[in-house]
Amino acid sequence: MKFVVTGAAGFIGSQLAERLLDGGHDIVAVDCFTDYYDAALKEENAAGLEVARLDLAEETLDLAGVDGVFHLAGQPGVRSFGDVFEEYVRRNLLASRRVFEAAAAAGTRVVFASSSSIYGDAERYPTPEESEPRPISPYGITKLGCEQLAYAYSQGFGLDAVVLRYFTFYGPRQRPDMALARIVGALARGSSFELYGDGLQSRSFTYVSDGVEATIAAMERGRTGTVYNVGGGEEATMREAIATLERVSGRTLDLVERPAAAGDVRRTSADVARIERDLGWRATTSLQDGLQAQWEWASARVAAP
């Protein structure tokens, strides 16, 4: 089959694109190479892929002959208050609106990567998909808006869309602004790490290859108009994740404690009953094994000349 992958030079998108190629599919890889973090890292992610540079907020996807769109492109990061909000509106809401409109016109299925950030401080844990969304960051607000745009285009123009709410993906190539990537980098270089909050905030950590398999399963057999949580099998606090990485690396982290940051939720915990029932998917990678893989990847990069 032929698929478009947007955000194909990113942490998740590049690994999804490679997995699709390994499965014998044709792909059109698209990325804007924004300046959110060093574009050289994205070039490294995309090595071996032919990536079309496309600004989805302005340019239209050509979906002729395309069987499906994996829409992973967007502006990430919950620390999205202030003047940067316009970039979140542009790169999430405006870009997604154009993708959904093009897919609806072409009759092409879209799997949209949303975020557990739409739940905010959720009403209950583990959090099922029918929970009231109440995001506490502008980022989460724009991702929820994208979900609602997908729904509007499905109702008004017959868009075939499946929405995935990703819960804290980690592993090799993780974005450098994310906590686990910064912890691994600090351990590898012997530098300090700033921990925001008391470290007892917990996350439903999801290893990237598990998440990629869930994303492909959603394209193949997800129910149109359905929202699925994609969350790891283990929940852990930041201090527990740090302790695991210290064991894995054999090193001690130089920890600098800072006040909690605005927009960071206290807890995420994915109820995955729906995706397990509908798609037969469940995360299989333990946090220990996943962090071991991330440490080996990152420490090798630091050691390379």
| 303, pLDDT greater than 80 | no
- For residue 233, the model assigns a pLDDT of 80
CATH 3.90.25.10 domain range(s) in the chain: 179-202+234-266+284-303
pLDDT tens digits for range 197-227? 999 999 999 999 999 999 999 999 999 999 9
| 112, pLDDT greater than 70 | yes
> Which stretches within 192-286 are classed as H helix?
208-221, 238-249, 273-279
| Radius of gyration, alpha carbons of the chain | 18
Q: How far, in Å, CA of 167 to CA of 115, rounded?
A: 6
Q: What is the CATH number of domain 179-202+234-266+284-303?
A: 3.90.25.10
Whether 139 is a known active-site residue: answer yes
**β 234-237/202-207 pair status:** antiparallel
CATH 3.40.50.720 domain range(s) in the chain: 2-170+207-230
- For residue 211, the model assigns a pLDDT of 98
Confidence of residue 178 (pLDDT cuts 50, 70, 90): very high
pLDDT tens digits for range 16-33? 999 999 999 999 999 999
- CATH topology (fold) of 2-170+207-230: Rossmann fold (3.40.50)
Query: Quick check: 236 and 267 in contact, CB under 8 A?
Result: no
| 187, pLDDT greater than 70 | yes
Tokens 């800072």 belong to residue: 258
Confidence of residue 305 (pLDDT cuts 50, 70, 90): low
Q: How far, in Å, CA of 84 to CA of 137, rounded?
A: 12
Of the candidates 211, 263, 204, the one whose C-alpha atom is nearest the C-alpha of residue 237 is 204
- Which whole number is the average pLDDT over 75-99? 95
| 304, pLDDT greater than 70 | no
* pTM attached to this predicted model: 0.97
Q: How far, in Å, CA of 234 to CA of 246, rounded?
A: 18
Q: How far, in Å, CA of 204 to CA of 133, rounded?
A: 17
- For residue 212, the model assigns a pLDDT of 98
**Marked catalytic residue, from 88, 119, 139, 207:** 139
In the predicted model, what is the mean pLDDT of the chain? 96
Helix (H) or strand (E) holding 287: helix 287-303
